[in-house]
Structure 1
């Protein structure tokens, strides 16, 4: 679970987000897949945010 608060430049609106996700390592691969969903906690935050990630490993084992 992650809590993120982003502070914008002066004159722009700030927002806060609560996000939870999962990561899965692909068997016998050098890659992870991730999926997360977040909910906005303030009036200026996105109501819902979905994120997908691919993480790779470089180099030898």
Structure 2
């Protein structure tokens, strides 16, 4: 894991050529689909970190 700062210019100009997805959806997408994460951090149901419809990964 590493820190990332991806401003609008980076996302617009460089991200189309990067083999990695942008950091925010890469991290938030994984944890928002994880029931254990939602329980551990008491994320309210239907919040961005605990959507009603989750993908089974």
Report the TM-score, using the length of structure 1 for normalisation: 0.18
- Whichever of the two has the greater Rg, that structure is 1
**More contact order relative to length (CA 8 Å, sep ≥ 6):** 1
Pick the structure with more strand per residue. Answer: 1
Pick the structure with more helix per residue. Answer: 2
